[in-house]
Amino acid sequence: MVIVCPKCLSCRVILYMGGIAGKIYKCLDCGYIGGIVLDVNEKDLPKLLTLKKMYRDDERNI
């Protein structure tokens, strides 16, 4: 399993803070800080990145 940023889908996510209240993560690419991250299978990660690219390309055509 790979931890992925929910904002930019980067794998460069680190544990920022953690303790009794829960874990807070930080994305080193977009700066996202929060407790919600995506836990993705390594084999599904390329599919997720392909969908992200397709969605971004569709937004540009609007």
Integer Cα distance of 50 and 23 in angstroms: 28
pLDDT at 62 over 70: no
What pTM was estimated for this model as a whole? Answer: 0.78
Q: Which residues contact 15 (CB under 8 A, 6 or more apart)?
A: 23, 24, 25
- Would you state the pLDDT for residue 19? 80
Please say if the pLDDT value at position 26 is more than 90: yes
Calculate the average pLDDT of the chain: 89
What's the pLDDT at 53? 83
In terms of residue numbers, what domain contains 40? 2-60
Number of folded domains that form the chain:
1
What is the pLDDT, as a whole number, of residue 56? 74
